[in-house]
């Protein structure tokens, strides 16, 4: 996964600036929802930078993102992903057709009140009934955002419908790197369900959740890695006084326990390939431990029986899932504490 993600604090600052400046001060400008000339200019920028406008510039989008950060949790389920994505796409294009028809029939000025982004203008024109209606819609969208991620952006916004098509071929995207361990946590926390390896990221709002919880930090506990290294230091000083086979087994099992339960067998195969010097382990901190193990136990590594460890993993996986380390559990839910 590409690094250099926004910290949560920086993200909150950027989103707040957007809401205050573009929303409150400038009355919801730039307002691209009603498909004006400005809409297509920003759509051109989307081709280059992805949905950064939707993610951080649009005051309505920023308000929804901030609201979703209060507490947002999701679970990874392939069947749920397919159903939810199809449903969202269908609903969005139905609304796109409705809004396009209203624009054609009534004109831009007569449908401003159905645009939640126009609700910011109520602060400028508090006696305007149309802007009061828009404000009520804006508040409704924000309230729904506590339960549904970016409901207006994903299901109603006509600009969002067009941007989702353009951003599929955008040059700027969040992509996985060669160090990806395929732990699946990015797929678990992605609120728009577009983090699978081959997804075109048309619905990526650059929210940075996947980067925050990339497996290299999510399931590799620095504290436990430090304990393994300390144990290896102790073994090195007393190598003649310990059972080499049991010491190697203890280290291998400790490494296996570092990973998310539903990926243990897959990660074990990667670990064995690294121990047998077939391929480096994709996480540098683990590869350093592997190098030390190869130096300390060169002969014992050749005697490792994979089936023995895989049986041990399957016997314990269900128990491990029930007792996830608090260090990891705290990161499962994304939001302010």
Residue-by-residue DSSP string for 189-222 = H-TTS--STT---TT-----HHHHT-HHHHS--H
C-beta separation of 258 from 219 below 8 A: yes
Distances (CA, A) of 125 to 8, 68, 130, 132, 140: 34, 28, 10, 9, 20
Q: pLDDT tens digits, residue range 111-129?
A: 666 789 889 999 899 888 8
Where are the extended beta strands (E) located within 112-253?
none
Rounded to two decimals, the pTM is 0.64
Q: Which residues of 176-207 are buried (b: 16+ CB within 10 A; e: fewer)?
A: beeebbebbbbbbbbbbbbbeeebebbbbbbb
- Residue 131: pLDDT over 70: yes
Distance CA 135, CA 121 (A): 8
What is the pLDDT, as a whole number, of residue 72?
Answer: 54
Q: pLDDT tens digits, residue range 218-228?
A: 456 677 888 88
At 45, give phi and psi (nearest 5°).
Answer: -65, -30
With bands split at pLDDT 50, 70 and 90, how would you rate the model's confidence at 91?
confident
Contacts with 198 (C-beta within 8 Å, 6 or more apart), sequence order: none
């Amino acid at each position: 996964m590409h690094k250099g993600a926004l910290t949560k604090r920086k993200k909150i600052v950027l989103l707040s600036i957007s809401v205050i400046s573009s929303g409150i001060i400038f009355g919801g400008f730039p307002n691209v929802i009603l498909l004006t000339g400005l809409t297509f200019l920003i759509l051109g920028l989307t081709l280059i930078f992805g949905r950064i406008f939707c993610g951080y510039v649009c005051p309505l989008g920023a308000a929804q993102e901030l609201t979703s950060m209060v507490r947002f949790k999701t679970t990874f389920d392939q069947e749920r992903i397919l159903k939810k994505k199809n449903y969202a796409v269908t609903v969005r294009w139905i609304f796109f057709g409705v809004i396009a028809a209203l624009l054609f029939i009534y004109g831009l000025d007569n449908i401003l009140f159905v645009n939640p982004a126009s609700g910011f203008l109520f602060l400028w024109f508090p006696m305007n009934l149309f802007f009061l209606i828009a404000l009520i819609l804006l508040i409704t969208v924000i309230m729904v955002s506590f339960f549904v991620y970016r409901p207006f952006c994903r299901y109603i916004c006509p600009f969002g419908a067009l941007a989702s098509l353009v951003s599929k071929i955008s040059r700027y995207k969040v992509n996985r790197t060669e160090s990806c361990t395929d732990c699946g946590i990015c797929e678990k926390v992605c609120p728009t369900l577009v983090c699978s390896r081959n997804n075109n990221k048309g619905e990526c709002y650059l929210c940075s959740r996947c980067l925050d919880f990339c497996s290299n930090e999510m399931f590799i506990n620095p504290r436990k890695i430090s304990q393994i290294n300390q144990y290896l230091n102790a073994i090195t000083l007393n190598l003649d006084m310990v059972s080499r086979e049991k010491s190697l087994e203890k280290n291998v099992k400790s490494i296996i326990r570092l990973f998310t339960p539903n990926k243990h067998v897959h990660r074990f195969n990667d670990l064995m390939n690294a121990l047998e010097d077939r391929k480096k382990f994709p996480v540098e901190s683990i590869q350093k431990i592997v190098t030390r193990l190869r130096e300390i136990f060169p002969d014992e590594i050749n005697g490792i029986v994979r089936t023995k460890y895989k049986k041990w993993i399957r016997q314990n996986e269900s128990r491990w899932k029930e007792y996830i380390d608090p260090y990891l559990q705290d990161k499962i839910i994304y939001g302010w504490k």
